[in-house]
Structures are given as C-alpha cells and as structure tokens.
Structure 1
Amino acid sequence: MGRKRRGTRKNNVVLREKTLANGNISLYLDIYRSGKRSYEFLKLYIIDKPQTPFDREQNNKNYQLAENTRTKREEELNHDEFGFIAPHLKKTNFLAFFQDFLDNYNKKDDRMVKGSFEYFKSFLKEENISLSSPLYPKDITPFLIQKYADYLQSKLQGETPASYFKRFKKVLTYAVSKNLFHKNPAAGISITINEGLKKDILTFKEIQALADADCPNSEVKRAFLFSLNTGLRWVDVNELKYRNVDYSNRKLTVNQAKTKHSSTNSLVIIDLNATAMRLIGEQKLPDDKIFNLPSHTGCLNNLKTWVGNAKINKHITWHCARHSFAVNLLGEVKTDIKTVASLLGHSGLKHTEKYTRAVDELKNKAVNGIPELKL
C-alpha cells in the first residue's frame, strides 16, 4: 500500500508513505495488533521535490508530527495490552474531553448530552471540585460516578435522571474507545426509570389559587398560566412571538424545541381557549416576544415564591404545567388519549400513557381518602 518510512517489523505501528497522483506523498499509519491490520491517514503531506526552504521546512515538520503521532499510537497500544493507560492520556482533562465530544456531537439527543454535561459540572461544584483545574481520568472513579447518579436523582424527576446518566455513560464509552480508560468506570452503575408520573400535578382549584395569588414577576405568572392552558414547555413559551398566533382562528403554531431534529409532529397547532387568548393579550409586532421572561433559574425562583403565596404545598417546576395540562384533560375534561397526544406533540401514545396512569393514581388516592366506616 505504500513505502515504510519509520519503524521496524516488530513495531505495532509503522509510519508509511503513499504517493499521490500529483506526485506528493501522503503519510499514514499502518497499525497491526492481535493479528488485525488497520490504517490511520494523518492528513499530513510531503512535497515530493521541495523547491524552497519553506517547502523543506514544512516537510520536516510534517514528518516530525507524523512520527510523534506514531509514537503515541504505539505507546497507547502497548500500554493497553497490559491494562495500563498511556502516560500522555493520563493527563487528559476529562471536562475538556467531554466538551470536545459535545462540540462534535450532531445526533438528535444532543440537548440531552448537553444537559448531562451541565449537571455534571453542577455536581462537581457541589462536591467542591474546581472546574478550572484538570479532572484526570483517574479521578473518574466508580464512587464519583455513583454519587453523580444519586445527584441526578435528587435534582430531577421522571425519566430525566436516567436519560442524562445514559448520555454520561455514552461519553465514558467513547473515552474507553480513545484509551482514556482501560474499561468503563460506570460499568454496573445505572438509574432505573420509574414509568409512573412522579411530578406534582396542579388541580383546577389550585390553578385558580395561583391566578389569585401574587407573583414577584408578572411575566412569569402570565407565562406559567399560559403553559397550564396549552401544555407548552418553558423553552417553547420563552421563544413564542406574535407571529405564532392566528388571532382570527384562535390558534397557535409552534415548532417544539424538544423534537426539532426528527419528529414529523414537531410542528404543533394548538387551539387557544379564552384564558389563553387573554394571557396573550393584544397583537403586537410579529417578531415581538409574547413573554419577556428571566432565565430558567430566575423563572423557577419566582415560581417557588408564587406557589408559596398561593398556599400550595407541592413541589412545582415549570414542567409540572405540561403534566397538569395533560392529566386534567384526561381526568377532568375526559379528553381521549389520542387528542391529548396530538396537543402535546407526541408522535405516538407511549409517552401520553403515563398521564393515564397518573389519572388512575389520583382516582385511587381519592377513593382511599374516604374515611373508613366502623361496621
């Protein structure tokens, strides 16, 4: 396939040259391990007949870069064979590695990978581990990973902790393939998904109590009540503009952010009830935002105070509005599940069915709440 430039027959990795059609030379690695051969093209090129000092210098630099890469690859293979990590890989900053993985990740679950990374950094801060100092592979221990899994479960609800942890393990699997770890340090550690709906639900009576109570930020109050009447997530409500509203037909068209990559149901048309229309208010310029909200954290802080003012003893997050919308439609309004799935932008019934289970749980709780008779 090409001439041998560096290395001996006993080497695992040999630097070779391949002559291109234009006469120049492409440098590549011939890697042999456990009876299998593979090739790594370095995208480093040698000018066949250099005419200038610059060309000769560039050739020397490319040869040196190629040889350095060959040495590293051989070092990685030899250390991995005996269960060791190559010295230069031991100095890899795992946080920088994670960030690089995220920057080059283009699959449809990229937002989940980003969320996992952000929560991992928050976890490290809570553990008093500095983000400005390197976090080496040796620091990513099963003990630390288990604590991160516990942290996710303490901060998040529903399927989110398991989803974030699954993406974290995906990064670790990739790190194993890049020889940062000899084996995955997260092996055997998992988060079990509870198929039931664990987020608190607001009843119509509690929603009215919220409407009557004072909120520190009037825009947060208006937007959250709107979510309770439409089932929209915070990220979608935050991006709504007046161009999304069809005033004459009382409809809202929104491209849901969570499904932007693949689902044909990412574009959702929602009928607006009288309350939702009042919350939107009078029409303004098409590109004006309907709600001028603070950050997500700022919204949650205002929401917490507001829920307290309404004397509601529940843990309410913004996503509870979406869940309350679905459960109230199914349980109180008696809407069929297919209609609710359509309103939520679900492509099937799998995710919507968890709301029917929540309705069943509420019914069971109501029945068992009747005082027992003494017979």
Structure 2
Amino acid sequence: MAKKNYRADNTYLIEGNSGDNPKLMGRALSDGRDSLYLEFYFGKVEVTSKNGKTYQKNERQNEPLGLYLWQAPRTPMERQQNKETLEIAKRIRFERGQELLERAEGYRLKKDKDVNILAWMSAYYESYTKADKREIKRACVAFNDFLIATSEYKNFAKALKPQQLTKGMVIDFSEYLQKRYSGEGAHTVFARFKKMTKAAVEAGVIMKNPCEGVVIKIDSNTLKKDVLSMEEMRRLITTHYEGENPEIRRAFIFCLYCGLRWCDVKDLTFANVDYSNRLLRFEQAKTKGHSSASGVVIPLNDGLLDLIGKGERDALIFPLPSHTMCLKALRHWTKRAGIDKHIT
C-alpha cells in the first residue's frame, strides 16, 4: 500500500482519484489498527451561517465497512490479513460506485441486457488489485483487437452486450490468439480472459460463462527461453555501448548471479538487505500470498554487495524503467555482445 498521508483528523486516502465516488478511506485508531470506510460526495449544498451569510458546502457522507488493517504489520500473517482485507474493501468500493451510477444516470452494470461488456471489463481491470493486473490489461486489449480485426464482429468493437458474447465468439477469439502469439502467450492471455468472464458470471453480468469447454493447450515443443553460457555471461558483462542504461545493466548482472525474476528485482529496496549478515531477504512476487515458501534468502558476496551499494531503506536498489524498455535494452545489449539467443 502507498505511503499514508494523514489528514488533521487522522484519516487518509487509500484508493480513489479526484473524480471517483466513493473513495476508500482509512482512519487511524488508538489500538494500532486503521478502520476502513467509504467517503461519498453528493455535490454542493447552499448553507446559511449564523450571521446570515450563505455559502456552498461540499455534502459528504461516510459508510463504515467494519473492516480493519494493521497499521504496522509485523508478521507474514498480519501482512496477508491486510492484503485480503484491502481486496475486499476495494471490491466494495467498486460495487458502491456502480450503484451510484445506476441511481444517478440509469446506468445498470449488473443484470441488465444493455450493459456494455467491454466497459465492464475495463472497470474490472481498474478495480483489480492482484499481481497479474498487467496480464488482465493485456487480455482486454487483445479482445478489443480481435473484435476490430474480425469482420463478423467489427460492429461490436465499441459496445458488446452480454447476449452477444457467445461461445462461438470465444472459440474464434481463442483461434485468433493462437495465430497472434507464439509460445505460451495465447494460453496466458486466454487464461486472464476466462478469469474476467468468470467474474462477470459471479457479478450477475452474464448468465453463463461462454468460455466453458474452450481450452488453449500449451505446445510442449514450444521454444523455451535460452540460457547463457559462462563464456557468454563474461562477454555480456564486458560489453558496453553508447547510451546504455546503467541501472538495467546493474540489475541484469545481479539477476544473472542470483536467479531473480524481473518482477522481484524491480521492487527490491535497501531494507531487503541484511548487511551485517550479508543476506538478501524478500518475498517472491509470483507466489507471495499463495505459498508459505514465498520467502527467499540469498547469501551475498563482495561482488553482489558492490552491485547493490547502499542507500535509504525505502529507496529502490534498482530504479528500472518499464518491463518493455528493459527487454529492448537487453536485446540491444546481447546483439552488441554477439549473442544470438532469446534472453529475457
């Protein structure tokens, strides 16, 4: 969760932008917990003061959720409790926001044949809080691209009603994905699409999941990522080029020796480093919250400690650009080193 910016009344914003209604808020309690509530905005009302002057006042209303967070979680269990509680609270905020739209604009998100599935998917992505959010976005984009590229469904590219999302359309989409992506890409995108349709059924948006019985299998003969030899690693480390990103270089070399994924190395802070015992401690992003073995401890030698350096506890060890930018830089780097392998 982002850093808490407390107001004078010990409340703070957890989720919501300036135009969002309601906003998810927290209030610090004296027992070491934060109480969660929703803050609704109902516009401005004219108020007359005691001295007879009139002025505009924001009309707000709070809804306590009966949910609480640990202010300073000390154990993995408390951190997991915070994560699960936040997911519930954010889902409630999303549902209350849709109820407001329904009353104010006659817009029905649930149980209405006029709902736009594409708009619902976009709203689902915006409220999604899990680690694979980027893949959910990827599935939304791929489905929109499929509608635009397919003459039979082109008219649905802006608005798609629940009854128009048929099993036949899903089968065509699965075939489109298998032509568009190589390796495990089609399977990964379709898995996130199925996740959205399952959520739509649970939310009452569609009556039956059109993805049932539709499967994209992973080709066991698919080319896997290549592995660098020790000689290639040495060649890469000694290769420099004009305009190289030193942070990408430093992070990738660190990953070579520690076996870290990009999703793990990008979030490392100096607080993860135990300098006295020469250890790196962190939780793997891929299994965090789903496995008791998500915690990782890596011994650090002098070379790795030099790569890490020192900084403020909350500062990132490797301030990296986006995943896409890192891959582009890596492809350029390996090419300059004369390495013709698929390295990520």
Q: Do they fold alike, i.e. is TM over 0.5?
A: yes
Per-residue deviation, 1:144: 5.2
| Correspondence for 1:117 | 136
Deviations 1:210-259 (A, max 9, x none): 21223521111110111111111212211212222223432111122222
Is 1:186 aligned to residue 214 of structure 2? Answer: no
Q: Does 1:90 align with 2:118?
A: no
Matched residues in 1 for 2:340 and 2:315: separation? 36
Amino acid at match of 1:264: S
Q: Which amino acid aligns with 1:214?
A: H
Task: Quickly say closer, same or farther: Cα 1:242–1:185, change in 2 above 3 A.
Answer: same
> Which segment drifts farther, 229-238 or 116-125?
116-125
Q: Residue 257 of structure 1: SS of its match in structure 2?
A: coil
**Identical-residue share of aligned pairs (%):** 37
In structure 2, C-alpha distance between the alignment counterparts of 1:219 and 1:305, rounded to whole Å: 15
Letter in 2 for 1:313: D
Question: Is contact 1:200-1:314 (8 Å) kept?
Answer: yes
The aligned amino acid for 1:117 is I
C-alpha contact (below 8 Å) 2:251/2:318 kept by paired residues: yes
Question: Is 1:298 matched up with 2:298?
Answer: no
Question: Are the equivalent residues in 2 in contact too, given 1:90–1:136 (CA < 8 A)?
Answer: yes
Amino acid at match of 1:203: S
Match of 1:208 in 2: 234
* CA displacement, residues 309-339 of structure 1 (integer Å, 9 cap, x when unaligned): 122222222xxxxxxxxxxxxxxxxxxxxxx
Task: Say whether residues 1:253 and 2:281 are aligned partners.
Answer: yes
Q: CA RMSD in A?
A: 3.8
8 Å Cα contact 1:98/1:117 also seen in 2: no
**Greater fraction helix:** 1
Partner of 2:55: none
Give how far 1:270 is off. 0.5
CA distance in 2, matches of 1:297, 1:305: 13
Alpha-carbon separation, structure 1, partners of 2:331 and 2:197:
36
What 5-or-longer segments of structure 1 have no aligned partner? 1-64, 70-86, 318-375
| Richer in strand (by share) | 2
Aligned to 1:225: 253
- Report the AA paired with residue 272 of structure 1: L
* Partner SS for 1:210: helix
The structure showing larger relative contact order (alpha-carbon pairs under 8 Å, at least 6 residues apart) is: 1
Cα deviation, residue 115, structure 1: 3.8
In structure 2, the residue matched to 1:31 is none
TM-score scaled to structure 2, two decimals? 0.55
Compute the TM-score of the two structures, normalised by the length of structure 1: 0.51
- In 2: Cα distance, 1:271 partner to 1:174 partner: 42
Q: What CA distance in whole angstroms lies between the structure 2 residues aligned with 1:290 and 1:118?
A: 27
Partner Cα distance (2:173, 2:200) in 1: 20
> Quick check: 1:240–1:290 contact (8 Å CA) kept in 2?
yes
Q: Do the aligned partners of residues 126 and 302 (structure 1) sit closer, same or farther apart at CA in structure 2, a change above 3 Å counting? A: farther
The count of corresponding residues between Structure 1 and Structure 2 is 229
Residue identity in the other structure for 1:123: A
Q: Is the 8 A contact 1:229 1:275 kept in 2?
A: no
